[in-house]
Amino acid sequence: MNSAEYLKSLNDGRVTFFEGEKVDNIVEHPILGKAAQYLAQSYDQIQQIVAEEGESPFGFVPHSPDELRAFTKRQVELGMIFNVTYTSLQTLKTAASRLQQLDPVYRERIEAYSKYVVDNDLRVTQCITDGKGDRAKSPKDQRDPDAYLRVVERRPDGVVIRGAKLHISLASFGHELLVIPTKAMKPGEEDYSIACAVPVNAPGVKIMNVSFSPRVSDDRSFPHSSRVHQYVEGFVVFDDVFVPNDRIFLNGEQQFAGVFAHSLGLWERLAGLTEMAEEAEELLGLAQLISEANGIDKIAHVRIKISDLITYATLIRCTVEAAIAQCEVNEKGEVFPNELYTNAGKFYAADNFHAMTKHLHDLGGGSILTAPTPADFENSEFGPYAEKYMATKEGVSGAYRSQLFNAIRDVTADTQGGWRKVTHIQSGGGLFAQRIVMRKHYPMERAKARGLHAAGLDTEATAMLKPAAE
């Protein structure tokens, strides 16, 4: 498909909503349509890659640290709609090899479905997070049994599912929804142990959209979110949706429910961390540019804040490099980023993001909020004043400096800025969940051995002191 065909394909009867209204035509919708146009570009990008390189990036799997680095770079460039589809396909493949103990039919269905997606050049988004109800309770103990998506009916030809999946990026902009359990399930939660694929326009699927695009008449005052950030999040309801057997990839084998989410994690994590590294450098660049434009870049306290941003960007970059250098390899020779290092990087990036935006706010000043917009500069009566009073030293025009302020506001102090803050903290399950992952992957016995050595408790003379269990 090219971009035009993609846009046409979205008009397939899907049921979507926006701010309380049903959306008749996504492409023509004033806000969602902009997102669709933006996302369509990646179809053309990929056609060009295929033309140049002879093969589709969907088929590529890295087999060395260098290939891993190069492919991650491409993932970041091709944007989210490519990524979610690519990681969906890889996730299914990885999960298949882990489900070998089960009925071989799952494996065959996964292969057939993957072929169908590639052959038809479809886009697949990932439906993971459930409504969840009371966080203090398990799926099976919820007041409303649908708080986690589940099978409500089993038929010879398939199953009927009910539930909701939240925070589904671009749900209304793909063709397929890959539905997987949000976490490992317990005995008694067989109905919640369902993985399957559902067309976006299947009867019973209803999607409520939230957009973070600017609402002003003139997009130029949001230079970042109006151009490169067109994320729309979906609240996807499955109201008794029938799924035929050939689209079911797990069906009640509770002890395997966690396989899909874990397989997904392997494939998506490095691209996310790399984006964080680039965003960190973007913050640094904006901080340095606005300091120069304000004429304060030589002042000591400014340099200290710039140094903090350098440290931030560099440490994240170090975790990317370490995750690649110490990558893990599976039995087929495919490489995956190191899990401990990737998680440490994401945690650090998220944990310090708010503090870094504080620095940017401190360096920029109140004009982050109050700088004139491009439209103000074009107003014949007020524009000349905007230029006169926003200009600083030789070479720094008012329009240039104001646009830096507009970018900083857009990226850190407006709708998009809020989106980033919350998303950084929440991606990967929240800071606390990331701590748990790190704890799981840290070689703690090595650390304890070092501690015993420091205490002189690893010598023969002290052997009898050590707890037996150690």
Interacting positions 383-402 with its own copies (CB under 8 A): 385-386, 388-397, 399-400
Could you give the CA distance from residue 180 to residue 249 in angstroms, rounded to a whole number? 9
Among 205, 257, 407, 428, binds its own copies (CB under 8 A): 407
| Smallest distance from its own copies to CB 157, Å | 26
Site for its own copies in 127-146 (CB under 8 A): 129, 131-137, 143-144, 146
What tokens were used for 277? 């590294």
* Residue from 189, 233, 253, 334 binding its own copies (CB under 8 A): 233
Is position 465 an interface residue for its own copies (rule: CB under 8 A)?
Answer: yes
Q: Pick from 24, 30, 51, 454 the residue near its own copies by CB under 8 A.
A: 454
Binders of its own copies in range 251-310 (CB under 8 A): 278, 281-282, 284-289, 292-296, 298-301, 303-304, 306-307, 310
**One of 147, 198, 241, 270 touching its own copies (CB under 8 A):** 147
Do the bridges between strand 176-179 and strand 124-127 make them parallel or antiparallel, or are there none, so unpaired? parallel
Token pair in block for residue 185: 């399930």
Q: Is 1 helix (H, G, I), strand (E, B) or coil?
A: coil
Closest contact distance (angstroms) between CB of 54 and its own copies is 30
Residues 1-40 that bind its own copies (CB under 8 A): 17, 19-22
Q: How far is CA 332 from the centre of its chain?
A: 27
CB 295 to its own copies: min, Å: 4
326 to 385, contacts with its own copies by CB under 8 A?
326, 340-341, 344-345, 347-348, 351, 353-355, 357-358, 361-362, 364-370, 372-376, 378-379, 381-382, 385
By the 8 A CB rule, do 429 and 438 touch? no
- 416: tokens are 């998009």
Query: Residue 304, SS3?
Result: helix
Q: What is the DSSP letter of 210?
A: E
Cβ closer to its own copies: 106 or 341?
A: 341
Shortest reach from residue 438's CB to its own copies, in Å:
5
| Pairing assessment for the beta strands 150-155 and 158-169 based on DSSP bridges | antiparallel
Of 45-53, 89-97, 181-189, 324-332, which part binds its own copies (CB under 8 A)?
324-332
Least distance in angstroms from the C-beta of 53 to its own copies: 25
Closest to its own copies by CB, 118 vs 452, is: 452
113 CB-contact burial (10 Å; exposed 0-12 / middle 13-18 / buried 19+): buried
Among 256, 337, 412, 428, binds its own copies (CB under 8 A): 412
Residue 56 found at the interface with its own copies (CB under 8 A)? no
- DSSP codes joined into one string, 72-128: HHHHHHHHHHHHHHHHHHHHHHHHHHHTTTS-HHHHHHHHHHHHHHHHTT--EEEE-
The residues in 81-120 that bind its own copies, with binding defined as CB under 8 A, are: none
Stretches 42-50, 114-122, 244-252, 419-427: which one binds its own copies (CB under 8 A)? 419-427
Please give the Cα distance from 4 to 413 (Å, whole number).
35
Q: Which residue reads 């498909």 in tokens?
A: 1
Compare residues 52 and 135 and give the one whose CB is closer to its own copies. Answer: 135
Map residues 177-216 to x or -, x wherever contact with its own copies holds by CB under 8 A. Answer: -----------------------------x-x-x-x--xx
Q: What is the nearest approach in angstroms of its own copies to the Cβ of residue 270?
A: 13
**Rounded distance between C-alpha atoms, residue 182 and residue 258, angstroms:** 8
Contact at 8 Å (CB) between 25 and 11? Answer: yes
- Site size for its own copies, by CB under 8 A? 165
| Of 167, 181, 201, the residue nearest 249 (C-alpha) | 181
- Given 224, 230, 265, 266, the residue binding its own copies (CB under 8 A): 224
Residue 450 binds to its own copies (criterion: CB under 8 A) = yes
* 95 vs 236, beta carbon nearer its own copies: 236
Q: Determine the interface stretch with its own copies among 70-78, 94-102, 220-228, 250-258 (rule: CB under 8 A).
A: 220-228
Q: Which amino acid is at 437?
A: V
Rg (CA), the chain: 25
User: Pairing mode, if any, of strands 150-155 and 124-127?
Assistant: unpaired
Q: How far apart are CA 61 and CA 267, in angstroms?
A: 10
Q: How far, in Å, CA of 368 to CA of 406, rounded?
A: 6
Cite the beta strand spans of 142-263 per DSSP E. 150-155, 158-169, 176-179, 194-199, 205-211, 232-244, 248-251
